Structure 1
Amino acid sequence: MTFISPAELTDRLERAADTFATKIGTLTDDDARVDTELPGWTRGHLLAHVAHVSNAVARQVEYALRGELIEFYDGGQGGRTQAIEMAAGQSAAEHKEAIAAAFTRAVSVLDSLAQEQWQLPISYRDGVVMDGALAYWRELVIHLADLQVGRGPETWSKEFCLYLIDFLAVRVPSGIRLKLLPLAMVPMTVGDGSNTVSVSGMLTDIAAWLAGRTPTMGSLRAEAAADSVELPTLLPWPSAFNAK
């Protein structure tokens, strides 16, 4: 994975949060009720989730600074689901207000950390604060694309795509070795199986596919032993909760 420092990650998070807030700024109540490509979720569900996960990341850090661990979501997976369902039907203005407050809470506490505090343990994936902050980066960028407000995967940076490919390498099925051939870039390999499948296309499309999203810049092409094949079926998203 391309190394990113805490200061660089904080900068990326601040920019991602600002972009997210700007892009949802014109959403109306009707817009918030529109279905997304995530099964059973409207934009309202996504907005509620982003606010909820922002607060969850913030409290992971707040407790870590006190030398304590706390579950990522209050009430675990059941609490997460209930909180999202309860907030999904809010007005657009209420969603925006909740997200603004949650963004401020999360970004502020991360921005306040000393270098060594990024390695404090948290309960999320039995990791450290850096792991939680990276997860937050994924949530902000990917879910903004899910909202379909003009900021799709085609806008993801090279840096983010390379990080995402590294993180999602665990989705490659056992026995398969993916040789990724992003256009105008050096090939890369994920997975360690004996059966090699080459996947070529735009870097953003490859990252979107691995993230379970629809490529937007063109068709990905898969080949095995010089023959065209279907793209492999990926394993589930690597989540502590098997959540969206």
Structure 2
Amino acid sequence: MSATELTDAESELRKRQGAGARYDAAAAPHAELAFARRGTAYFARKLSELSDDDLDAPSLLPGWSRRHVIAHVGYNARALTHLTEWARTGIETPMYASADARDRQLARGETLPARALRNLFDHAAVHLNVEWRDLTDEQWDVEVKTAQGRTVPVRETAWMRSREVWVHAVDLANDGSFLDFPPELVDRLIADVLGTWQRRGESVDLALTPNDRPRLADHGRIVLGTGGPVVSGAAADLARWLTGRGARRLSASSGELPDIPRWF
């Protein structure tokens, strides 16, 4: 389908849906919203593959069960909804009342009955999506503050949610894979990790060679700091390692993979 045919199809769909339907504003971060929505569907699919008894099993995150991951992802949607409400209403609404309140909320969430835990994920995701679609062009640029204290335009919430749902879908530990991720998302995740290290002032001397991304950087290599061991592999496998989800199918010029800082 050509771009013109796609535009015509969308126009016809909007006519059928009527004036009451919600759509993203023209100035919304469309690519990131698409990542977030596809990631929500991916997480939902991996969650649906698990029985209620499966939820008690460990996740890929040390000390966290699958219940913990599901509660975290559900409450993350609620927290990001607070930021979109802040942008829409002008009333400051932090993601969490405090770090302690966040921890207590999560501790309660992982004890919910399985059905309530699944509903938490579903309902919170729908609410966040509605809030995104209620933002005007101007409101997408309103500045809000993240739980880490960064001041960002509210459009950043779309990317924050994207990385949350995709990466934590893998953390459910039921065959979710970074290889399932859209290539553009993988590239953004790699850039996100490197940007996080830079903002924190982490000193990392390393070179990355994503062998399926020859145009990602000069000569297909990303050099950090003064350079150092060269770690090579598919971009998806590099993203997995950089985000702290373990190493698969990677090689290092030093023989062993170097230690790297945490992502979050």
Q: TM-score range by the shorter chain?
A: 0.7 to 0.9
Distance 2:179 2:153 in 1: 30
* Cα displacement (A) at 1:175: 5.2
Output one character per residue of 1:176-212: Cα deviation in whole Å (capped at 9) or x when no partner: 1x32211232213252x22422110111110011100
Question: Which one of 154, 159, 163 corresponds to residue 138 of structure 1?
Answer: 163
The TM-score, its normalising length taken from structure 1, stands at 0.85
**C-alpha contact 1:13 1:107 (8 A) present in aligned 2:** no
Normalised TM-score (structure 2): 0.79
Aligned residue number for residue 10 of structure 2:
none
1:140, distance to aligned residue in structure 2 (A) = 0.5
Would you say 1:153 and 2:178 are equivalent positions? yes
In the alignment, structure 1 residue 230 sits paired with structure 2 residue 262: no
**Aligned match of 1:90:** 112
1:107 to partner: Cα distance: 1.4
Find the aligned partners of 2:257 and 2:56 in 1 and give their Cα distance. Answer: 33
State the shift of 1:144 in Å: 0.5
CA distance in 1, matches of 2:63, 2:170: 17
**C-alpha contact (below 8 Å) 2:88/2:135 kept by paired residues:** no
Would the aligned equivalents of 2:86 and 2:93 in 1 still touch at CA under 8 Å? yes
Which amino acid letter does the alignment assign opposite residue 96 of structure 1?
A: R
Change beyond 3 A, Cα 1:188–1:116: farther
In the alignment, structure 1 residue 189 sits paired with structure 2 residue 222: yes
- RMSD between aligned residues: 2.0
- Which residue does 1:41 correspond to in 2? 64
Aligned counterpart, 2:249: 219
Tell me if the contact between 1:179 and 1:197 (Cα under 8 Å) persists in the aligned partners: yes
**Local SS of the residue matching 2:139:** helix
Match for residue 73 of structure 1 among 96, 109, 133 = 96
Partner of 1:11 in structure 2?
Answer: 34
Counterpart residue number, 1:200: 232
CA distance in 2, matches of 1:167, 1:26: 29
Q: CA deviation at 1:233?
A: 1.5
Instruction: Specify the alignment match of 1:242 in structure 2.
Output: none
Q: Which segments of 5 or more consecutive residues in structure 1 lack a partner in the other structure?
A: 239-244
Aligned AA (1:237): W
Matched residue, 1:116: 138
**Matching residue's letter, 1:222:** A
Q: Mark the structure with the bigger radius of gyration.
A: 2
Describe the shift of the 1:148–1:165 C-alpha distance in structure 2 as closer, same or farther (beyond 3 A).
Answer: same
Q: Distance in 2 between matches of 1:138 and 1:9?
A: 10
Unaligned runs of 5+ in 2: 1-27, 215-219
Aligned counterparts of 1:36 and 1:160: Cα–Cα separation in 2: 22
Partner of 1:174: 203
Q: What fraction of aligned residue pairs are identical, expressed as a percent?
A: 28
Change (3 A) 1:208 1:40: same
What does residue 241 of structure 1 align with? none
Counterpart contact for 2:144–2:154, Cα < 8 Å:
yes
Instruction: Report the 3-state secondary structure (helix = DSSP H, G, I; strand = E; otherwise coil) of the residue aligned with 1:214.
Output: coil
Q: Which residue identity is paired with 1:213?
A: R
Aligned length: 226
* Compared CA separation, residues 222 and 104, structure 1 to 2 (3 A): same
Shift of 1:168: 0.6
Alpha-carbon distance in structure 2 between the residues aligned to 1:106 and 1:179? 38
Secondary structure of the structure 2 residue equivalent to 1:196: coil
Structure 2 residue identity aligned to 1:202: A
